[in-house]
Structure 1
């Protein structure tokens, strides 16, 4: 069984951690074109008896996005769905923590989600704020 601590250690070894609490961490990944992308991972304990991880990466401030275009672009990504939380457009993906292969079931979706969010951010805003 994979633990939240194992996920934290996986992230710490690979990425620049910007913020961390007992239940979430925010870190930065490099993306193509000398861009970076911030991502947050939230530990969602014991929902229906199962622990989950929510991976999210910001695309832009919702007020500055063409939300229809955001939804259409998010629909083309391999991993994640579109959401607006606290005024920020996000790509989000959730995986169960129990029996998680950190490399395949966390690392791979993380990479795909971040690449998708960065492409959408670049296309919709032409900026690199997140």
Structure 2
């Protein structure tokens, strides 16, 4: 996989797309227990020349959770991703360079992030809103 266009073509065949723009594609990752997780995938250009994909997923509203507890939980249990506030949402996000990305280097972190964020959502939001 070498470009954003290539990645988007793959995503369209493998995931349920819910929204798409030129530099962003939003998907749902669905789990066997009928829960699902919204994932925001966006094209980022580093230093005006190198394409990256940012994988981000919301799990709580920033004003409705104890951010100290969230960060402590992520620090103790999370392998992929880091916490951020994007708009009003607390998200877990991870970024990958596209230039020499193998498909498993995208799929595996995506699955791990989705599962982790679904667990964080259940713990801190008490439901399946995202």
Common fold by TM > 0.5: yes
TM-score by length of 1: 0.93
Partner of 2:14 in structure 1? 14
Ranges in structure 1 where 5+ consecutive residues have no aligned partner: none
Q: Which moved more, 1:54-63 or 1:41-50?
A: 41-50
Residue 84 of structure 2 corresponds to residue 83 of structure 1 = yes
Segments ≥4 residues shifted beyond 2 Å? 45-49
**Aligned-residue offset at 1:62:** 0.8
Aligned residues: 129
TM-score by length of 2: 0.93
Q: CA RMSD in A?
A: 1.3
1:1-130 map, 5 Å: 2-47=2-47, 49-75=49-75, 76-102=77-103, 104-130=104-130
Contact 2:3/2:51 (8 A) holds in 1: no
Deviations 1:6-62 (Å, cap 9, x if unpaired)? 111111111111110110110101124211000011101243632111000111111
Contact 2:41/2:53 (8 A) holds in 1: yes
